[in-house]
Structure 1
Amino acid sequence: MSHQSASLSTLALQKFKRNFWGVLSLSIIACYTCIALFAYVMAPDNTANANQMHLSIHSQPPGFEVDMLELPVANLPSSIWDWWNGRKLNQEEIPFSELKIENGRCYYRPYDVDGAQLAFIDANFAVADGIELSRFRESYTSHKTFLLGTDKYGRDLLSRMMIGSRISISIGFIAVFISLVIGITLGAIAGYFGGMVDNIIMWLINVTWSIPTLLMVIAISIVLEKGFFTVFIAVGLTMWVEVARVVRGQMIVAKEYQYVTAAKALGFNHYRIITRHILPNIMAPIIVISAANFAAAILIESGLSFLGIGAQPPMPSWGSMIKDHYQYIILDKAYLALVPGIAIMTLVMAFMLLGNALRDALDVKTT
């Protein structure tokens, strides 16, 4: 039995490897997952939520470059968890076009996108005696390049995109996990025992199914208050019905097989028969529907963030980024909304293609 199971698994893996779109989609998902896990390590702006605002350089195009005056404002200790939560903001960044030092004080000319020569401003920073301007620039200035430009608040769009990927990836994992726990449990109980238990669970499934998903998520989000984890719970509680219906149907068919009859004859209890004999043999359709639910969860979260119910500012989210910049689509800065939109489309498409590839690979009737 174990040799046959291993052979079927090997065959499914070989079929999956031959599917170009399946391998490509899995690679894209793995890439997004790595970015989400190590966002603060790779992001140019590794402060918490990449929320450093520079209104003087707002809505700048990709590849924009500017000099920054970096003045220390606090001596905050670093933490081992800075790679996960982002470092604390311990310096003030000021875009400038020109610097000068007079009487032990630093003065800068603010950067102006129109090229206007603004008046010098005192930086309120005491300069060490005798320090030359060149040495001061080496210690307290930097040249920054914004690869994807800046948003309407002057924040680094690339950093916001990378950190925002955490929302989409995590919503998929957590929401699908919640839906699998509830859906498999109720579907297995309904399909295995049947009778009145099946009728009650099916009534609950049909009632939940009849309520529009988005309206239910909005209602749950309002009841539980807006927030990061509230969205995860709300989305997960609305996706379990599809899993339950699939598991119930597979369970009704599988419980009539001979190996289940043999398990009953050996005196195994219902829990062991369900968890160790039936469920492992009906996991293929569950895996496929889970991949589709990943894509659905990402779309629902993006829609909620667009409506202002999802992740709350300043936490970056692809949906909220589209909401902040959708009016730029009709202007010459459409990329501010298109970049997060393309990221959502790419990730959703990858999960849908992965689901199709898994369906083909786990289908024992195909070669």
Structure 2
Amino acid sequence: MAPPSAPPARPPGYYVRQRLLRNPPAMLGLGFIVLCTLVALLGYWMLPDNSPSANNGLVVLQKQPPGFRVDVLPVPLPDSIRPTRRGLLARWWGGQPPLTQDLPIEPRFRVTADSVYVRPYVPYRPAGAAAPAEVGVALRQLAAEPAENRQQVVEQAVTHRRYWLGTDKAGRDQLSRLLLGTRISLGIGLVAVLISVVLGMAIGAVAGYVGGWVDSLLLGLMTVVWSIPGIMLVIAISLALDSKGVWTSFVAVGLTMWVDVARVVRGQMLSLREKTFVEAGRVLGLPQSRLIWRHLLPNMTGPLIVLATSNFAAAILLEAGLSFLGLGVQPPAPSWGLMVNEGFQLLGTEAGLWLTLLPGLAISLLVLSFNLLGNGLRDAYDPKTPLG
């Protein structure tokens, strides 16, 4: 009887992937993160309102509930103030400034030779109140059309717009701003993680490998930065840079989160620098920089990936808190924290509930997804976790 064949040799990464794939909460979190990433990458291409910062608001439609629907007549802007139509890439990066002035109207209208007479939409008209007076809107395209076609031309021009998540206090589409806010939240998380990982790895590796007075000095620096509240540090950095824009928030949040990475790298470096392969490298005369970057740091991949996911979630929460306080991303940028603040100011009204709940739910779901993924990665990189 032939002995059973040994299982094929697998690299460690294979078992990490298998453990992660068999963790349903982690895969659920990863799926939501991938979905948000696709939304952030598509950006203005997929928004109902693709104006810059999704800021094309109609004040008459402010604080409308989810599912609200209205007829809108787009009136072309005069050539003197009409913006140019942007290309595909420019529209993806910064949106398209409105080419028309949108006029919410009642469903009925009448057409003349060169104008259309409409009744402006009034959302809160008391019972028994008189209907609003008709307003004439000149449409140049009507003059060139035969009389029998003018009604059809206007009907085709009128759009039946639905606000699936309602509108905010400025009459802006809440769905568009919520989707566009994904780009800011993921962007600030990515920049913050990159800055914190690069800076933390450099400082932690030098402190742990060199040791001595260098370690004491850098450890003291970590302790001082660790003792300062993150929000206060971001305020100080914003004041030093004399700016409160989007990119300032990105950099400021990243510069407050490197201490966690540095402490982990320093601890790992202290335990690895006495290993046999490091002694062999020293005997061979390898420079310290090569030992650190080519041989020691790659052995910390697992802990660093887990820490990066938790820092991603922390950066999103920190940015939301700063924007809520008015210290982060500034209006009209659609930051989720800023949207929560706008809804919070309307609490007590009918619109305040969903204007606060929707961006708050988005923040919670994205942070929860990163935490679930981080827990799954921690278990996946633990060799004691069973594959089943």
TM-score normalised by structure 1 residue count:
0.95
Query: Which position in structure 1 is the counterpart of 2:122?
Result: 112
Match of 1:70 in 2: 74
* Correspondence for 1:45: 49
Q: How many angstroms does 1:50 deviate by?
A: 1.1
Question: Over residues 245-269 of structure 1, what are the superposed CA-to-partner deviations in whole Å (9 max), with x where a residue is unaligned?
Answer: 0000000001111111111111111
Task: Note if 1:255 corresponds to 2:255.
Answer: no
One-letter amino acid of the counterpart of residue 94, structure 1: L
Partner Cα separation in structure 1 for residue 59 and residue 105 of structure 2: 12
Aligned to 2:135: 121
Q: Which residue of 2 aligns with 1:358?
A: 377
Is it true that 1:213 corresponds to 2:230 in the alignment?
yes
The answer (yes or no) to whether the contact 2:113–2:143 under 8 Å persists in 1 is no
Match of 1:79 in 2: 87
**Counterpart secondary structure, 2:11:** helix
Is residue 239 of structure 1 aligned with residue 247 of structure 2?
no
TM-aligned CA distance change 1:75 to 1:318, over 3 Å: closer
- Within the alignment, does 1:223 sit opposite 2:227 as a pair? no
Q: Which runs of 5+ in 2 are unaligned?
A: 1-7
1:320: Cα distance to partner?
Answer: 0.7
Distance 1:15 1:283 in 2: 16
Identity across the alignment (%): 45
- Which residue pairs with 1:349 in the alignment? 368
Q: Contact conserved, 1:38 with 1:84, CA < 8 A, in 2?
A: no
Instruction: Look up the match of 1:11.
Output: 15
What's 1:169 paired with? 186
1:41 shift after superposition: 1.6
Match of 1:23 among 24, 27, 44: 27
* Preserved contact between residue 109 and residue 118 of structure 2 (Cα < 8 Å): yes
Partner Cα separation in structure 1 for residue 234 and residue 93 of structure 2: 28
Gaps of 5+ in 1: none
Aligned residue among 166, 174, 197 for 1:157: 174
Question: 1:76 Cα deviation (Å)?
Answer: 1.5
Counterpart residue number, 1:95: 104
Measured in 2, the distance between the counterparts of 1:303 and 1:93 equals: 34
Measure the CA separation in 2 of the matches of 1:123 and 1:51.
Answer: 24
Alignment partner of 1:281 out of 270, 290, 299 = 299
Q: Which has the larger radius of gyration?
A: 2
Tell me which amino acid in the other structure corresponds to 2:137. Answer: A
The aligned amino acid for 1:360 is: D
How has the CA–CA distance of structure 1 residues 330 and 75 changed in structure 2, closer, same or farther, with 3 Å as cutoff?
Answer: closer
- Matches for 1:297-316 after TM superposition, within 5 Å: 297-316=315-334
TM-aligned CA deviation for residue 133 of structure 1 = 4.7
1:76-107 deviation per Cα after TM superposition (whole angstroms, max 9, x unaligned): 23313212321222111111113222452222
Q: State the distance in 2 between where 1:111 and 1:138 align.
A: 16
* TM-score, structure 2 normalization: 0.90
- Picking from 187, 191, 201, the partner of 2:218 is 201
